[in-house]
Amino acid sequence: MRWALVKVSLAVTAMVVVAFAVPLGLVIREMARDRAFSNAEREAAAVAPALSITTDREQLERVVASAGSDAGMAVHIPAPGAGAGSGAGRTGGATDIGRQRASDEDIAAVRTMGRASTTEVGGGSTLLQPVALSSGQIAVVEVYVPESEVTNGVGTAWAVLAAVGAALIVGSVAVADRLGVRMVQPARRLVEGAHELGEGKLGARVPVEGPDELRRAAVAFNSMADQVVQLLANERELAADLSHRLRTPLTVLRLNAASLGHGPAAEQTRAAVEQLEREVDTIIRTARDAKPQTAAAGPGAGCDAAEVVRERMGFWSALAEDEGRKWRVAGADRPVRIPVARTDLAASLDALLGNVFRHTAEGTAFAVDLHNGEDAVIVLVSDAGTGIADPEAAMARGRGSGTDGSTGLGLDIVRRMAESTGGDVRIGSSVLGGTEVRIWIQLDGRTAPVRRGHRGTVRRRGQSRTQAQASA
């Protein structure tokens, strides 16, 4: 691109220089010729008044000497008695003053026509100027214009024009080269960024610089790279979420396998369930390498929170009866619309209720409360377990991995669901004596106000139990 711009600039500038310099050079030459003959006309005009008064040779010689010189001017006076149209030249009594260079025929033609004329002679040109005498005859004043005077200054002017044209060409080439560099460097950086992104370097970005077109291309490339990173992160997060949702049926399988008693078949079933749980944990940990990206629900997304709560509690109540757990649901007797997709709310409830069954002893009671306010909906999931000693560590993504098979993704699923509406998630102590997870779902999209805890202080327990009850 750089050399293409240089070639184009060179061609265009050369054509412009030729188009202007050649006519201008011809005009300069014509101006020099006109200047030389204008001087000759002035010299001839200086002799005309004397010829109109007298034809005396001595007086005319003095006039000629004062106007020019014998070498450059001549006066041709016709012989006495010759007619006005006579073609008499130097013979027949004609008077000639100075050196004659024009031919007799040219002089006679000027007398006949009565107007000035120029003719080519050796070494230059002559101006023949007719002058009317008092006798009615026509005298001719001849002024010699050498070739050096006609071309005086033309060579210098042409040299200046050539230098200016060359300077313009060189300057245009230099400017085109600089413009080419200014365009090529951003384009080269754009190519390098594309290669890096193609090689898997997701942090590759291009500086926004150069012409407007390349700046827009750089902005588009950076936006595309950001979108690729976000899509990959969302893909990993989706894999992690889907894998985590498998925890719900796995929990049922594990509980059912625990009730099979003893025997080879029962042991094999329990081993298979544990192996399946480990494989799901591996998928979740692998998919969580990238930082998650939270996406708010799209226009029109939403569900009836009360219906979802009733449905999921209907599922978990069967398992609660098998383990002798007391449970209750409050506030789900009438519709409560929230700007959250049904699947997201169901996944969040399954994650929290699955944690209750997974990390509390059999017979531990739990409850789900739904509170509908003017600008927010609060979902409370509480249990009568031993509680969580460090809520901040439990909420931190990944803090729970490595302890008791936990992946640390359950609470993060709940947090992202709440934050997509502008809400938040808090962990505190419940009235049942254990842990309470409060989900604040904002209805108008505003950020939830900062609140200090919920229902008193957090109860401190052992650290191992804290991480075990963190989300799976």
Where is pLDDT greater, at 335 or 461?
A: 335
Cα-to-chain-centroid distance, residue 277: 50
Residue 369 pLDDT class (50, 70, 90 cuts): very high
Q: Which residues contact 7 (CB under 8 A, 6 or more apart)?
A: none
Assigned fold of 297-469? Heat Shock Protein 90 (3.30.565)
Pairing between strand 95-97 and 73-77? antiparallel
- pLDDT tens string 421-448: 889 999 988 888 899 999 999 987 655 4
Spatial separation of the C-alpha atoms in residues 405 and 468, rounded to whole Å: 8
**Same fold for the pair 2-154 and 226-293:** no
Residue 213 pLDDT class (50, 70, 90 cuts): confident
Asked which of 28-37, 137-146, 445-454 is least confident by mean pLDDT, the reply is: 445-454
| Residue 372: per-residue pLDDT | 92
Where is pLDDT greater, at 292 or 286?
A: 286
| Residue 248: per-residue pLDDT | 66
Asked which of 39-43, 396-400, 421-425 is least confident by mean pLDDT, the reply is: 396-400
In the CATH scheme, what is the code of domain 226-293?
Answer: 1.10.287
Domain chopping of the chain, boundaries: 2-154, 226-293, 297-469
pLDDT at 293 over 70: no
CATH 3.40.50.620 for domain 2-154, yes or no, is no
Spatial separation of the C-alpha atoms in residues 381 and 370, rounded to whole Å: 9
In 147-255, DSSP assigns E strands to none
| Residue 452: per-residue pLDDT | 42
Q: What whole-number percentage of the chain has pLDDT above 70? A: 77
Amino acid of residue 392: E
Residue 82 pLDDT class (50, 70, 90 cuts): low
- pLDDT tens string 97-145: 878 888 888 888 888 888 888 888 888 888 888 888 877 788 888 888 8
Residue 71 pLDDT class (50, 70, 90 cuts): low
* Mean pLDDT of the 177-193 span: 80
Asked which of 25-29, 85-89, 423-427 is least confident by mean pLDDT, the reply is: 85-89
Residue 274 pLDDT class (50, 70, 90 cuts): confident
Q: Which residues contact 397 (CB under 8 A, 6 or more apart)?
A: 288, 292, 408, 409, 412
Rg of the chain over all Cα atoms, to the nearest angstrom: 54
Cα distances from 154 to residues 80, 122, 158, in angstroms, run 45, 21, 6
* Mean pLDDT of the 288-307 span: 58
The secondary structure of 377-405, three-state, reads: EEEEEEECCCCCCCHHHHHCCCCCCCCCC
| Residue 384: per-residue pLDDT | 92
Spatial separation of the C-alpha atoms in residues 339 and 73, rounded to whole Å: 110
Neighbours of 387 (CB within 10 A): 24
- pLDDT tens string 307-356: 999 998 988 888 888 889 999 999 999 999 999 888 888 888 988 888 88
| Residue 102: per-residue pLDDT | 84
Average pLDDT, the chain: 77
CB 124 within 8 A of CB 147: yes
| Residue 445: per-residue pLDDT | 60
Residue 45 pLDDT class (50, 70, 90 cuts): confident
* Mean pLDDT of the 448-463 span: 39
| Residue 194: per-residue pLDDT | 87
Continuous segment of H or E residues that includes residue 370: strand 366-372
Residue 1 pLDDT class (50, 70, 90 cuts): low
Amino acid of residue 185: Q
Helix, strand and coil percent figures for the chain, each rounded to 5? 55, 15, 30
Q: What whole-number percentage of the chain has pLDDT above 90? A: 11
Residue 283 pLDDT class (50, 70, 90 cuts): low
Neighbours of 427 (CB within 10 A): 21
Where is pLDDT greater, at 273 or 187?
A: 187
| Residue 262: per-residue pLDDT | 76
